[in-house]
A and B are shown apart, each in its own frame.
Chain A
Amino acid sequence: MIGSSGETLAIEDVRKVRQGDDGRPVEILRGVNLEVPPGRLTVVVGPSGGGKSTLLRLVNRLEDPSSGRILLSGTDIAAIDPLQLRRRIGVVLQLPFMYEGTVLDNLQRGFVFRGVPAPAAKDAGLLQILELCRLSVDLLARQARSLSIGQQQRVGLARTLLAAPGLLVLDEPTSALDRPTSDQLGRTLQEICHQHQISVLMMTHDLRLAQRVADHAAFLDEGRIVESGEAGSLFANPRSEGLKNFLTSPVDPREDGHV
């Protein structure tokens, strides 16, 4: 098993108000309630600008909510040391940043930050994660920034998994990927979740991906979870007008200009 056992996340009535460009407060999240069950793949879908990225930033305390609370396996995250919290919850930001240096340097970065010995290129755990993320061992010596976006996305994922989180959170992991690469990443996420018991929470506007991989799904629009439930029935029988429209929207998410 790669991670610690799957953690649960409970988001309770979370609101987030930000200062808008004109100085007036803007309500980005208007009372979000969401349950991320252990060892399952939960996907939050919704249009761009609906609050997905903001919600993700609250989960590992890159920001704090204006009100409401978030519980990680029963404990309010505001009471957990942020460095500890960010180890238990592995967040992969959209288009993960690659540090200067090789892929191996990038994979070892988290260990360097935490001041613990980093695994070498032949470490069994490292090799297992490389295989899981479908990264070839030959890539380890390559300059990380010379890789394709798809490969960088995988390095970002592997780098986060190396810290053995109990919950993996991803922001639009396929926004820059073509279909085959994106399908492959979807399968990797399912494996991480179902075979290694790491809970996964993914934010995406890629409906195709969501329908293929999600166990549990929620529709986030205009700062609210409009509906949520078991993925199959949610996508088959949407109750709200918003989700119905979103499901039948003709726009390919990769072609709407938002990356």
Chain B
Amino acid sequence: MSETVINLSIIDLALVYGLVLIAIGLARFNRIGQERALLWSSLRMIVQLLVVGYLLKMVFTIASPLPVMLILLFMGGFAVHAVGARVKEKMPRFYQVVGLAMFTGCGGGTFFLCTLVIGLTPWYDPRYLIPLTGMIIGNSMTGASLAAERLAAEMKERRHEIETSLCLGATPRQASVDAVRSAFRAALIPSINAMAAMGIVFLPGMMTGQILSGTEPLLAVRYQIAIMCVITASVAVTSFLILLLGYRSFFTPACQLRIEP
């Protein structure tokens, strides 16, 4: 497949970076600012991608499961950390809840796709495992943030409703079912929107990449359908677990809401 891809030389890259320089020049000439940010972020992008490129090349050559697993663990850890940075109101035992949910949701999805559906040989083939897991973790991360954020906000907003239910003899689960429902909806909206718009509003990145590197379009479409299904399931499982483990952490063993008036 790779022989159909046209090579890009350093000179070609210098040419396209010229475009960024022109953009910076325009910004400077018109005194509208942002030239520093443009320069810094473009350089950062180049360095990060080059590092990833060399790292992947190394991992591909070593062809051993250990470095692949380390990379996946690093991605997962980074994702949990990113969720923590994004969610301002953290539920009790936040990192345990999010970590366990992400590990189960993403791990399960990746295992299902790579082992049972695609059937990788060897099972750790980094050319498939790393990008596919990356997409699954990335999307689940968004779902996890939305679920955790929404749950905390709903619990707070619905305090009066929840305590009224407790007064009427509800269990914590019954009292928080509406809050959980609305947080689950919020977590799934990006996946639902993405699936609905797919192919019409935008061509998904993975499919575009495969087509560029010479994959037959219908096969690329099949891969895209497969990854979308797994992403949706992983997002749903991750968010569901966060909500299931999370709502309990808002209540004491004596069925009291932990949010004080």
Contacts and interface: CB of A to CB of B under 8 A. Distances in A.
Nearest to B170: A113
B256 A113 contact: no
B260 interface: yes
Interface centre among A63, A90, A91, A97 (most CB of B within 10 A): A97
B176 to A, nearest CB: 12
B77 interface: no
Given A82-B255, A83-B171, A113-B169, A97 B260 contact: no
A64 B169 contact: no
B256 A97 contact: no
B256 A64 contact: yes
A150 interface: no
A186 B169 CA distance: 25
A179 interface: no
B179 to A, nearest CB: 13
Interface in B146-183: 160-161, 163-171, 174
B167 A93 contact: yes
A90 B169 CA distance: 9
Contacts of A110: 168-169
Contacts, number: 57
B254 interface: yes
Contacts of A224: none
A86 B167 contact: yes
B256 A93 contact: no
B257 to A, nearest CB: 7
A67 to B, nearest CB: 16
Interface string B249-261: 0000011110011
Contact of B167 (A19, A53, A64, A91): A91
Nearest to B163: A62
Nearest to A86: B169
Contact of B160 (A57, A61, A87, A93): A93
Interface in A1-47: 18-19
A60 B167 contact: yes
A96 interface: yes
Contacts of A96: 164
11 contacts: A18-B260, A61-B255, A82-B254, A82-B255, A82-B256, A90-B167, A110-B168, A110-B169, A113-B168, A113-B174, A160-B167
Given A62-B163, A62-B166, A109-B168, 6 more contacts: A53-B261, A63-B256, A82-B255, A90-B167, A109-B165, A110-B168
6 A-B pairs with least C-beta separation: A97-B164, A110-B168, A113-B170, A82-B255, A91-B167, A97-B161
